[in-house]
Chains A and B, each alone.
Chain A
Amino acid sequence: MNYLELIGFIQIVLIATTPVVFAGIGELVTEKSGVLNLGVEGMMLVGAVTAFVTLVITGSYVLAFLFSILAGIFMSGLFAFLVLILMSNQVATGLSLTIFGIGLSSMIGKKYIGTPIDGLTPWYFVILSFIIVFLVGYFFYKTKSGLIVRAVGESHNSAHALGYSVLKIRLLAILFGGSMCAFAGSYISICYAPMWQEGMIAGRGWIALALVVFSTWKPSRILIGAYIFGGTSIFQMHLQGKGFRFPDWVPFDNFFSSAPFFNMSPYLATMIVLVIISSNKLRIKLSAPACLTMPFYKGS
């Protein structure tokens, strides 16, 4: 890889990784408050289609992102109603939200598939993703409100006893998560691959969910995880383009040099790095919010 290729490589990684950073940081805030929303993929799809359709109809990028965020608030509001008010199971509700989102997004976008639009340059959004991660980190560790959200996630009963409205805080966290996921979706349909195709998020929502776990619920590590994953994804393509092969003396060189292995390398790399980070028990406490997935009920 020469100097110019390296610059190009980094650019591709930045563009490709940004959507999972947005979705990941949104989901992180939701989980910090003690709620697990597995509907990321569905919310991203609805966000993507809303932005695209709004852009086609109005021609305004601002409105596109605005409506996309509103769509994310709608989707996550639905989820919030079910898990906060009706106290339904968070895992199942989140997965159902994804199914619902697949259907809803396809329905909305049916007439607009194959409408050409002018894509936006991704660079502002790449910068924005870093800023948002920084702001979320600042919020959690430097502000009182951030501390309250963390408290709600760690022990909702204590937070309630201190007079904080657990449900209201969780609602806000869920809505923030939803709007970030939708925003990530709109980045995909307007900047990254400017088009609308059914199911075009293609599993990035699941990757974002995995990254929250990878980050051990610390905002800055979302970036690390996302760039390990994104970097490996692009690097394996780079190796394929270069016709790279392992030498014959490597055991199973046929398997390791095969395209399926290249394609699975981002998943393996993320796992291996997680194992390395997690095994250092002095530095890492298992830091999942203690109340994650537990419903809050005032009378309890």
Chain B
Amino acid sequence: MIKLFKYFTIIISFIGLTFSTAYAGPKKVGFIYIGPPGDHGWTYMHDVGRKHMESQLGDAVTSTYIEGVPENADAVRAIRKLASSGHDLIFTTSFNYMDQTLEVANEFPNVMFEHATGYKRADNVSTYSARFYEGRTIIGHIAGHMSKTGTVGYIASFPIPEVVRGINAFYLAAAKVNPDIKIKVIWAFTWYDPGKEADAANTLINQGADIIVQHTDTFAPCQAAEKAGVLAFGQASNQEAFCPNAHLTAIEDIWGPYYAARAQAVVDGTWSSTDTWHGMAEGMVVMSPYNSKLMSPELIQEAINMEIAIKDGTLHSFEGPIYNQAGELVVPEGQNADDGMLAGMGFYVQGIDDELPQ
């Protein structure tokens, strides 16, 4: 009987909690994650961002997340559960949550939504993404200098604009340093399979690549490079601990300040639908410390100077003239590729000796 009573009080207090938060008290912020927060890649960095937001806003917000939400019909239910349980702001952190986010947003006009890397917006749906390609320009420059064989191995996940943009930005920067540089691409068709990523890295190294670049989620390629005695760049977070003698630098995704700002806007009642595409200038893309054991001080200085130039706008990753593989001029001299072209990038630039899967 006592247990039963206890049980009821929990339920009632819980229901009470749900209702009361709708009126006052801390704002509830929900997150939908594609993977586990401990993956040390994409989801991990979103979770770091979530914690940063909590520490910045203190008692003004509380946050919850649902991890491992598949990018299909299940996502609607997960997002809707957050919306219907009193959350004021919901971040959906993967591209394929796009239509699902809009579907739920349509039903809950008073809940604010933020969808990562998408392009569909509504009055209560913002989109946000980071200009990771700016980081790819820097690692391309470094690779151009550091590759002795002139061959770079690139492990790619899926041919989506994000990945294609990264390959192009990397190649353009590397070819500026070494016009003869070759880039070998293996499409793994997975984001997440440490064994397969290691196999791909080893295959590329076997074919003469002495620098491994990855656009997949685990640090297996970097480890493989370490074992084989070649160089590599980390992905999403600083991975130096796993491959200290191979890791040159990594492109880090820093979501925390954005999450804090958006949550603050909800607390202040100033939130409105926006389209955010931030880069190094705003601190959303950050380079991990350059490895001074492997890189010369001059090269590190060059990389830092490039960061400064990208931040103040004097350097752009896609400066004309840029030709596509068919030899057509896509960005004229003196201009930079516009955001529309970058957002939907589905072609390789001239010089990449490979064909885009499509």
Contacts and interface: CB of A to CB of B under 8 A. Distances in A.
Quick check: do A and B touch in the complex, using CB within 8 A?
A: yes
Interface of A: 5, 8-9, 11-12, 15-16, 19, 106, 110, 113-114, 116, 119, 188, 192-195, 197-200, 202-204, 233-234, 237-238, 240-243, 245, 257-260, 262-263
B154 to A, nearest CB: 10
Given A12-B203, A241-B203, A197 B194 contact: yes
Contacts of B353: 243
Nearest first, the 7 closest Cβ-Cβ pairs linking A and B are A8-B206, A259-B187, A193-B194, A113-B38, A259-B357, A202-B193, A237-B203
Given A114-B44, A116-B242, 14 more contacts: A8-B206, A113-B36, A192-B195, A195-B218, A197-B40, A200-B193, A202-B193, A237-B199, A240-B186, A242-B184, A243-B353, A257-B355, A259-B159, A263-B187
22 contacts: A8-B202, A8-B205, A16-B195, A16-B199, A106-B36, A113-B38, A114-B40, A119-B227, A193-B194, A193-B195, A195-B218, A195-B223, A195-B242, A198-B39, A200-B194, A200-B218, A234-B199, A241-B204, A243-B353, A243-B355, A258-B357, A262-B187
Contacts of B218: 193, 195, 197, 200
Contacts of A257: 355
B195 A116 contact: no
B312 interface: no
Q: Which of B194, B197, B218, B242 has the most CB of A within 10 A?
A: B194
Contact of B195 (A188, A242, A243, A245): A188
Nearest to A260: B189
Contacts of B9: none
A204 B203 contact: no
Interface in B197-250: 197-200, 202-207, 209, 218-220, 223, 227, 241-242
Contacts of B204: 241
Contact of A200 (B153, B195, B227, B242): B195
Contacts of B103: none
Contacts of B209: 241
A198 B355 contact: no
B43 to A, nearest CB: 10
A51 to B, nearest CB: 14
Contacts of A19: 195
Interface range, B side: 35 or more
A283 to B, nearest CB: 33
A173 to B, nearest CB: 27
Contact of B223 (A113, A193, A203): A193
Nearest to A243: B354
Nearest to A7: B206
B310 interface: no
Interface string B344-358: 000000000111011
Contacts of A202: 190, 192-196
A241 B354 CA distance: 9
A195 B227 CA distance: 14
Interface in B160-177: none
B200 A237 contact: yes
A5 B219 CA distance: 24
Q: Which of B44, B184, B185, B186 has the most CB of A within 10 A?
A: B186
Nearest to A19: B195
Nearest to B190: A202
A45 to B, nearest CB: 13
B125 to A, nearest CB: 30
B195 A260 contact: no
A198 B38 contact: yes
Contacts of B186: 237, 240-241
Q: Which of A19, A106, A237 has the most CB of B within 10 A?
A: A237
A201 B193 CA distance: 8
Contacts of A240: 185-187
Nearest to B156: A259
B227 to A, nearest CB: 7
Contacts of A16: 195, 199
B36 A198 contact: yes
Nearest to B199: A16
Contact of B203 (A203, A238, A258, A259): A238
A149 B186 CA distance: 45
Contact of A194 (B35, B202, B223): B223
Nearest to A121: B227
A205 to B, nearest CB: 12
A286 to B, nearest CB: 32
Contact of A263 (B184, B189, B203): B189
A192 B202 CA distance: 11
